[in-house]
Amino acid sequence: MTVVKAELFNFEQLLNDHNDRIISFSACETVNWLSLRKHVFILRKKLLTTKHSQWILATDSTLFFFVGLLALISAKKEILLPPNNLIGMLSETIQGAQAVLTDLDIEIELPIINLSDLAGDSEPDDVRIDPDAQFIQICTSGSTGEPKQIRKSLATLESELCCLERQWGELVNDKVVISTVSHQHIYGLLFRVLWPAMAKRTFMAENIEYPEQITSIAKQHGKIVLISSPAYLKRMASVLNKEIMQEYVKVIYSSGGPLELETAALYGQEFLTTPIEVLGSTETGGIAFRQQSAVKEVLWQKFDEVQLRREPTNGALSIKSPFCFSDDWYEMGDAVELKSETNFKLLGRLDRIVKLEEKRISLDRMEAVLGQHEFIEQAKVTVLPGHRTILGVVCRLSDVGQQLFAQLTRREFSERLRDYLAGYFDRVTLPRKWRYVPDFPYNSQGKLTQAELARLFDEEQHD
C-alpha cells in the first residue's frame, strides 16, 4: 500500500489524484477511486450550472455523502451538514441554504439535485482549491439550546487530518476502516471517511450493525480499524467473537463520550486491544486522547497542536487550537484539573448538554421544542441516572393538552409527544418517562432543583 505523507493531506491533492485503488467496499461491491472520482466530476458539472452557492448535503449513504462532499468542494460551494436527516432538523438547517443535495425523499422548499442520479459524462480535470477560502458548516447544539452551525474552513479540517496521520498513521497503516458511527458528525466525518481517503486506505461504506459483520469483513479484508462509540462497545462486548477480535481488530477508536473503565479494561483483557478514546467536539475538533488502564489512572493527553488552560472563575477547560472554528481561546463546558502542560483530568460537565448513546442533546433545546407544542404550557427535561441513563420530562399542560389528556391513556398521550420530538431528535435520545403536573415542585427558595424533578419519577407510572 502507498504511504501518503501527512503533509500532503489536502482536498486539492485528493481531487487531483489519478492513481486508481479500492477506496471503499460494502457487502455487495467494491468501489475504486477513479470510478468514484468520475461521479464527483459528473456532479460537479451539474453544480456549476446552478447559481446556488450554499447547499445542504443530506444522505444516509456514506458513498453518496463522500461524492457529494467532494463535488461541492470542487465546485467551490459552501456546504451545510445537518446532524441528522429528520425533516424537522432539515427545516431548521435551511436557514441560509439555497439548495439541497440528497438522495432522500423529502419535502423541502428548496431546489434539489438528486445524488442517486449520477448518469452523464464529464471529463475529470484538475481543480484548484483555496482551503482557507472554502468552508463547511456543521450543525450542532449550542450551549443556549438553539442549534448553531460551526463554520470550519477546509484548511482547518486538513490540519486535523494531518495531526491524526502523524499521531497514528503507522498504527493504522495496511488496515481497512469499519465504523459504527455516522458520517454526519465530525468524528465520523474525519475518522471513517476523510482520514482513510486522504491516506489511500479503504473504508467500509455501510455501518456495522451486527457483530457477525466484523467476522465476515475480517475473513475477506484482513486487519481492521474499528471506529466506534462507548455505547456500542459496551453493548456488544459480550457478543463479539473473541478469536476474530484478537486476530483481526488491531485498533479501536471511541469518541462521543467517556468510555467506562470497566469496558475499556475488558477490551484490553479479552480482545487484546484497548480502545483509544478521543476527546473533542464539533466546535473544537480533537483535543486529547487516552487509553485507559485497569491498574492505574490514565490522564488525557493533548494533541501537540492544542494549547490548554483552566479558567480561574469556573474551572472550565479552555483550548486554543488550529482545529477549532475560533482563532481565539475557546471555553468548553467541562470542569478540568490540569496535571501538567500536556495532561489533564476531566471533572464533569458544567452546562446542560448531555450525551445519550453518544449523541449530544441540549436539554434547553428539547425544552424549547416541547414548549412550542400546543399541548404544553411549559416543560422541564431532566436526566434520570440508572443502569442506563435516560431522560424524563415534567410537563405543565395547556388547556388543549389537558382536554386531550383526559380522553387518552397516559401512554397514548406520551406517545404523541414522543412522535413530535422524533421530528427534531434521534429516537434513541427521546425521553422514556413523562410526568404531568399542575405546577413544578419549586423549593422554599423558589428554585427548581434536579433533585425535586427526579423525585417525581420515584413512583412507577405507565407512560
For the stretch 46-102, pLDDT in tens is 999 999 999 999 999 999 999 999 999 999 999 999 888 887 778 776 678 999 999
- Looking at residue 73, what is its pLDDT? 98
Largest CA distance in the chain: 73
CB 141 within 8 A of CB 362: yes
Separation CA 240–CA 223 (nearest Å): 16
Tell me the pTM.
0.82
pLDDT mean across residues, the chain: 90
Q: pLDDT value at position 143?
A: 43
Q: What percent of the chain has pLDDT over 70?
A: 95
* 373 three-state secondary structure: coil
Q: At what angle do helices 410-421 and 399-407 cross, to 10 degrees?
A: 130
Q: What is the pLDDT of residue 359?
A: 81
Q: Hey, what's the cell of 294?
A: 485497569
Check residue 293 and give its pLDDT. Answer: 93
CB-based contacts of 353, cutoff 8 Å, min separation 6: 141, 143, 333, 360, 361, 362, 363
Q: List pLDDT tens digits, range 312-349.
A: 999 999 999 999 999 999 999 888 999 999 999 998 77
Residue 180: pLDDT over 70: yes
**pLDDT value of residue 444:** 43
Give the model confidence (pLDDT) of 216-268 as tens digits. 999 999 999 999 998 889 889 999 999 999 999 999 999 988 898 999 999 99
Amino acid at 418: R
The CATH number assigned to the domain with range 208-351 reads: 3.40.50.12780
Task: Tell me where in the chain the CATH 3.40.50.12780 domain(s) lie.
Answer: 1-153, 208-351
Q: What pLDDT, on a 0 to 100 scale, did the predictor assign at position 3?
A: 65
What string of DSSP letters covers 299-317? -EEE-TT-EEEE-TTT-EE
| Residues 44, 70: Cα–Cα separation, whole Å | 8
Question: What mean pLDDT is predicted for residues 289-309?
Answer: 96
CB atoms within 10 A of CB 200: 17
Amino acid at 77: K
Q: Is 10 helix (H, G, I), strand (E, B) or coil?
A: coil
User: pLDDT > 90: what percent of the chain?
Assistant: 71
Q: Is the pLDDT of residue 142 over 80?
A: no
Contacts of 327 (CB under 8 A, 6+ apart): none
Q: Which of 45, 280, 309 is nearest to 163 (CA)?
A: 280
Class of the CATH-defined domain 1-153: alpha beta
CATH 3.30.300.30 spans which residues of the chain? 354-455
pLDDT at 1: 52
pLDDT band at 147 (very low <50, low <70, confident <90, very high): low
Output the CATH code of domain 354-455: 3.30.300.30
